[in-house]
């Protein structure tokens, strides 16, 4: 009699632990799903149709000074006319910036300047339709310094460790990178790269 009582006591304690454990799983699961869902939605909604684009918020001081923008600062917008898309550009390519929109690689040139401007973004949020653009399509960057029209010259699919993409260029260039393949769950091991050149009168050096 005493033995069964002890046994059921142990069982009760065990049952309680299982209940706690399952509740903990549910709470943690909901928290993770909500948080990552929010993070995903942030990037997803950053992609706006062209006509609905909000006016660019750039501080007045930025216009006067030619200093490097701070990390996380909004520096402009990327327009893709072919996809009827407007995307915000933030300085920096850390997760904090890529979550909100397109990131500008800090060591690369600023839009409109000589050199290579590098913009990166997530393939499943801001650039989810990027495979719809190709050679000769326009990419337009608007910053406080003006609006710059680039035309795509080349589309490359390279490995994630390729070291020939983030390089200096003789002509003003815009390089857009994202992960590839586009519909792939998990860590995609390739990169989809668009190389576009600034449309401007010829200047041969």
Query: Among residue numbers 11 through 50, which ones bind another protein (CB under 8 A)?
Result: 15, 18-19, 21-37, 39-40, 43
Binding of another protein by 168 (CB under 8 A): yes
| Residue 165 binds another protein (CB under 8 A) | yes
**Shortest distance (Å) from residue 101 CB to another protein:** 12
**Which of 44/56 has CB closer to another protein?**
44
Distance in angstroms (rounded) separating the CA atoms of residues 28 and 32 = 6
- Give 37 or 63: the residue with its C-beta nearer to another protein: 37
Cβ neighbours around 134 below 10 Å, total: 12
How remote is the C-alpha of 39 from its chain's centroid?
11
Alpha carbon distance, N-terminus to C-terminus of the chain: 99
CB 118 within 8 A of CB 177: yes
Which residue, 37 or 49, has its beta carbon nearer to another protein? 37
Say if strands 48-49 and 116-120 run parallel, antiparallel, or are unpaired: unpaired
Residues 164, 169, 173: CA angle, nearest 5 degrees: 100
Query: What is the smallest separation between the CB atom of 27 and another protein, expressed in angstroms?
Result: 8
Sign of CA dihedral 100, 102, 105, 111: negative
- 179 tagged catalytic: yes
Contact assessment for residue 172 and residue 198, using Cβ atoms and an 8 Å cutoff? yes
Count interface residues toward another protein (CB under 8 A). 72
101-160 residues near another protein, rule: CB under 8 A? 103, 105, 107-108, 116, 118, 120-125, 127, 136, 151, 153-154, 156, 158, 160
Closest approach, Cβ 26 to another protein, in A, equals 4
- Please identify, using beta-carbon distances, which residue of 58 and 182 lies nearer to another protein: 182
> Which residues are part of the catalytic machinery?
122, 179
């Amino acid at each position: 009699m005493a033995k069964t009582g002890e046994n059921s006591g142990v069982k009760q304690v065990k049952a309680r632990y299982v209940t706690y454990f399952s509740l903990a799983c549910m709470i943690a699961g909901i928290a993770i799903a909500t948080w990552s869902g929010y993070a995903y939605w942030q990037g997803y909604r950053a992609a706006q149709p062209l006509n609905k684009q909000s006016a660019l918020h750039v501080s007045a001081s930025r216009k006067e000074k030619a200093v490097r923008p701070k990390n996380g600062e909004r520096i402009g917008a990327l327009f893709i006319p072919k996809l009827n898309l407007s995307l915000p550009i933030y300085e920096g390519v850390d997760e904090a910036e890529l979550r909100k929109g397109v990131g500008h690689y800090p060591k690369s040139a600023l839009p409109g300047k000589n050199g290579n401007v590098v913009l990166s973004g997530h393939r499943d949020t801001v650039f989810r339709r990027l495979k719809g653009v190709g050679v000769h399509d326009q990419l337009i960057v608007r910053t406080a310094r003006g609006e710059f029209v680039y035309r795509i010259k080349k589309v490359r699919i390279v490995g994630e460790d390729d070291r020939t993409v983030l390089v200096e260029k003789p002509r003003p260039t815009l390089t857009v990178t994202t992960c590839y393949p586009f519909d792939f769950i998990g860590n995609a091991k390739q990169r989809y790269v668009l190389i576009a050149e600034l449309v401007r009168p010829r200047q041969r050096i």
